[in-house]
Amino acid sequence: MWFKIDLYSSLSLNEQIKMGIKESILKGKLREGDTLPSIRELASSLRVNPNTIVRAYKDLETEGIVIAKQGIGYMVLKGKAEIRRIVLKDLEKKFSEEIFRFKKIGFKLDEILEVIKNIWEK
C-alpha cells in the first residue's frame, strides 16, 4: 500500500489511516474519482482489523473527502488543493487550544514561533 502503520506512533491506528489516505492524495497517488483500496484489502495489507479501516473510511466520508458506494467501494471526492487546505485547518484546530493557553499566560508569539522553528530544523 502507499503508507505504513507505526505501532509506536502517538496517533491511533484510525488517525494514521486517515492521515495516510490524505497523504496519498497530496502525493498524487490517489486522485479525485479514484476508488480507495477495498476495506479488506487495506486491512490485510496493513495487518489491521477490517473494522479499523471501516471506522477510518467512515470518518473520511463524514469529513466529505470520500463517498461510499455499496458494492463498488469508496471514491475520492477532493483533489490535492482541497486536501491541503483541510489538513492545515486540522492542524489549526489541533494546536489552537494549546497556543491560546500560552498566549493567555503571557508568552510572546515569537517565542512560540521559535519553538516551531526549533522542531523543524531537527
Partner DNA sequence: GTGGTCTAGACCACC
Partner DNA sequence: GTGGTCTAGACCACG
**Nearest CA-CA partner of 52 in 5, 88, 85:** 5
Q: Which does 103 bind (CB under 5 to 8 A by kind): DNA, a copy of itself, none?
A: a copy of itself
Q: How far is the CB of 51 from DNA (least distance, A)?
A: 4
Whole-number Å distance between alpha carbons of 32 and 96: 30
Burial of 120 (0-12, 13-18, 19+ CB in 10 A): exposed
Q: How far is the CB of 112 from DNA (least distance, A)?
A: 24
Cβ closer to a copy of itself: 31 or 67?
67
Q: Which stretch binds DNA (CB under 7 A): 19-27, 53-61, 84-92, 114-122?
A: 53-61
Copy the grid coordinates of residue 101: 493557553
How many residues make contact with DNA (CB under 7 A)? Answer: 24
